[in-house]
Amino acid sequence: MAQCRVWWIQYLSRTPREVAVSISKKFLKTRPVCKVRFVLPSSQCEGVETVCLVGEFNGWNEQRNPMKRGRDGSFSVEVELETGREYRFRYLLDGCRWANDSDADGYEYCPFANADNALVSV
């Protein structure tokens, strides 16, 4: 089994079709939930075959929230999160490389991973 290393994906520039933020939130009026859309731009996943959204909201399950590849090469997924909370999450690329979202609401060090987790507040 190949040894996986932690990779940080940071980006300085984006193409015009990647100008939109990578996390968008839609609060529902009828229920105390927020539909959160996570997008990993194509410039962040060149050569990547699979991406999964992994976090507190899915028990850190590495397979529960696979992201779909868009025509432009980006990956995206939408999840419903209970409002009034902050959730820790990361992206898992090809089952072995971890990445954070540069548009996250914040970051928090995780001693278990010896790295930062991204935060989304809803």
- Find, among 111, 117, 80, 81, the residue nearest to 98 by Cα: 117
The pLDDT value recorded for residue 113 is 86
Residue 49 — left, alpha, or beta (φ > 0 → left; ψ -120 to 50 → alpha)?
Answer: alpha
Check: CB of residue 25 under 8 Å from CB of residue 34. yes
Tokens for 69, please give them: 């590849």
Tokens for 23, please give them: 């996390």
Per-residue pLDDT of the chain (122 residues; tens, 9 = 90+): 333 333 323 333 333 333 345 899 999 999 999 999 999 999 888 899 999 999 999 999 999 999 999 999 999 999 999 999 999 999 999 999 999 998 999 999 999 889 999 999 99
The pLDDT value recorded for residue 68 is 97
- What distance in Å separates the CA atoms of residue 75 and residue 37, rounded to the nearest whole number? 11
The pLDDT value recorded for residue 21 is 57
The pLDDT value recorded for residue 22 is 87
- What distance in Å separates the CA atoms of residue 33 and residue 113, rounded to the nearest whole number? 29
CA 64, distance to chain mean position in Å, is 13
* DSSP codes, 36-59: EEEEE-GGG-TT---EEEEEGGGT
Q: Which CATH architecture has domain 16-121?
A: Sandwich (2.60)
